[in-house]
Amino acid sequence: MATYTINIEGMTCQHCVKAVTTALSNVAGVERVTVSLQKKQATLEVDEAKFKPEAARKAVINEGYVPR
């Protein structure tokens, strides 16, 4: 299990946190998601054999936020 962090711009409330959490939870290989509104980032615990960082970035973009 590895840890992957995505900085995210555009989140302003708990609804944003929930939307990003749900989107990232559905990415293949993601085992656990923690999203911090204060830090403006998501921390993922992932199975490296299944996880593709670009899929996570696309999930964030599809929710209307900007991954950095």
Given a contact cutoff of 8 angstroms between Cβ atoms, the answer to whether 4 and 46 are in contact is yes
User: Domain holding 63: CATH number?
Assistant: 3.30.70.100
User: What's the confidence (pLDDT) of residue 27?
Assistant: 98
Domain with 7, as residue range(s), is 2-67
In the chain, how many domains are there? Answer: 1
Contacts of the segment 16-24: beta carbons below 8 A, 24+ positions apart: 16/65, 19/63, 20/60, 20/63, 20/65, 23/59, 23/60, 23/62, 23/63, 24/56, 24/59, 24/60
pLDDT, mean of each 10-residue run, the chain (68 residues): 97 97 98 98 98 98 97
User: What's the confidence (pLDDT) of residue 57?
Assistant: 98
How far apart (Å, rounded) are the C-alpha atoms in residues 54 and 60? 10
Bridge partner residues of 59 (DSSP): none
User: What's the confidence (pLDDT) of residue 33?
Assistant: 98
User: What's the confidence (pLDDT) of residue 19?
Assistant: 98
